[in-house]
Amino acid sequence: MAKVRIILKTNRKLSNNCYPVVISLAHLKNPTKYIRVEGFYAAKNEWSYSLSRFKPSKGKNYKKLNSILEEIEVKIEGVNEQLSAMGRFTYDAFHKLYFADENLDKCVKSAYQRRINDMKSTDRIGTAMFYESSWKAIHGFINKSQLTFDHITYAWLKDFELYKRRRGVTGNTIAVYLRGLRAIHYEYCKVNNLNKPSAYIQFNIQGLLTPTMKRSLSKDQVKRFIEHNPISEAQLDAKQLFLFSFYTRGTNLMDMLQFTKDNIDGEYLVYRRQKTGKHMRMKLTAEAIDVLSFFKNDSKYLFPYMRKGDVPKHRVTDVNRNINRRLKLFGDAIGIEHISMYYARHTFAELQYKSGVRIEIISQMLGHSDLKTTQTYLRSFSDDEVDNAASKVFDSLR
């Protein structure tokens, strides 16, 4: 296999006193060949020789430029692997394949990387992490071989499932990995005006799913939760965060921890769900206001957990892990197993449903934008109607 890499060619200075970024091709004992990466150049102090990437000194666009270089690196590795597998490496063959756009389009790794970069560039870090996890699982299965969309068949999907199950991975987790692949594959077909592949219909990803344990509390359990006094301040904080989520229709912790005073409009909480982008506006209950008073602090956040320089996704993940650990201890003390922050959202939805609230109103209260079980009922309701519906459960707990 040839040695292909991206380098800064420092023995050739351009008219702007910088040096060109090139693809270096070294094969056996033949002279090294270079392919210019058009429009990419750097001064010596703007280039990391160990990483083959631009340094921050390149300017504010250096991350975007590095993302493009990452895509190019994926592409040249794919071309090199393809030619090596055929035993036909020549510089001309490499050049021809490298500039053939259709080959890049078929590369699954390239498609994943583009999607991940797109998500990161729009600050959708959680979605980027989802696709990174999906690709990591798939890459572990195919090892270093080149995977194109042409390879994705029913047999390939079945082999992937069996490979993961032999390693103790649950069907639910396998389904998550394959949902990422399916989304990438469908996007590829859409962009290239191709029919959707039948492999995912034949395989039936949904069939991998197994019922998970109940993730909601009964009304009696909620009352016990409210009335019990924690044994530590840490558990009290966790209890209060859980209750705020419950009293605000199952608000996600990712949204909660980034609330500021700007999210309070009189007696209303207003925000846009980060997961779906749906605008939320709800009247704060007396209990929710009490929780805000409990957490009153000098920072700009309503809940004092975010710190300067934090990446929200990573920070919230850490906080969520600690809160769930404390909620488990709190739940054990009152005979409720496995309680976590996500129970607040499920509990709110289930108690609303059991109290007779129509499913379409519940869907709106939860801020769903693509919920298959409720989407046929979705329509707009007034804030007053939704607030009145939400208050039914809260009143019954007082």
Q: Are residues 69 and 162 in the same domain?
A: no
Last residue of a domain, one of 67, 99, 131: 99
Q: Are residues 57 and 25 in the same domain?
A: yes
Q: Are residues 118 and 264 in the same domain?
A: no
pLDDT for 95 equals 83
pLDDT for 220 equals 92
Q: Are residues 364 and 288 in the same domain?
A: yes
Cα-based distances in Å from 216 to 128, 250, 361? 28, 11, 19
The span from the CA of 71 to the CA of 67, in Å, is 6
pLDDT for 97 equals 78
pLDDT for 368 equals 66
Count of domains forming the chain:
3
pLDDT for 376 equals 32
E strands present in the chain: 3-8, 19-26, 33-42, 47-48, 53-54, 264-265, 268-272, 279-283
Last residue of a domain, one of 81, 99, 117: 99
3-state secondary structure of 76: helix
Last residue of a domain, one of 196, 212, 228: 212
pLDDT for 105 equals 56
Q: Are residues 168 and 139 in the same domain?
A: yes
pTM of the model: 0.54
Tokens (6 digits) for 50: 């160990």
DSSP string, 128-193: HHHHHHHHHHHHHHHTTS--BGGG--HHHHHHHHHHHHHTT--HHHHHHHHHHHHHHHHHHHHHTT
Q: Are residues 91 and 106 in the same domain?
A: no
Please list, residue by residue across 211-248, b when 16 or more beta carbons sit within 10 angstroms of its beta carbon and e when fewer do: eeeeebbeeebbebbeeeebeeeebebbbbbbbbbbbb
Mean pLDDT by 10 residues, the chain (398 residues): 92 90 92 90 95 94 91 89 84 81 67 87 78 92 77 92 93 93 91 84 88 75 93 94 95 94 95 84 95 94 90 88 94 89 88 79 72 40 62 73
Give the model confidence (pLDDT) of 312-369 as tens digits: 888 998 999 999 999 999 999 999 888 999 899 888 888 887 788 777 777 778 776 6
- Residue 98's nearest CA partner among 63, 74, 131, 120 is 74
Q: Are residues 145 and 258 in the same domain?
A: no
pLDDT for 390 equals 73
Q: Are residues 153 and 76 in the same domain?
A: no
Amino acid at position 377, single letter: Y
Amino acid at position 58, single letter: K
The span from the CA of 370 to the CA of 148, in Å, is 30
- Residue 122's nearest CA partner among 189, 200, 67, 190 is 67
pLDDT for 104 equals 45
Q: Are residues 190 and 326 in the same domain?
A: no
For residue 255, what are the domain limits?
A: 219-397
Q: Are residues 108 and 80 in the same domain?
A: no
Q: Are residues 206 and 349 in the same domain?
A: no
Q: Are residues 275 and 353 in the same domain?
A: yes
Q: Which CATH number fits the domain that encloses residue 136?
A: 1.10.150
pLDDT for 103 equals 45
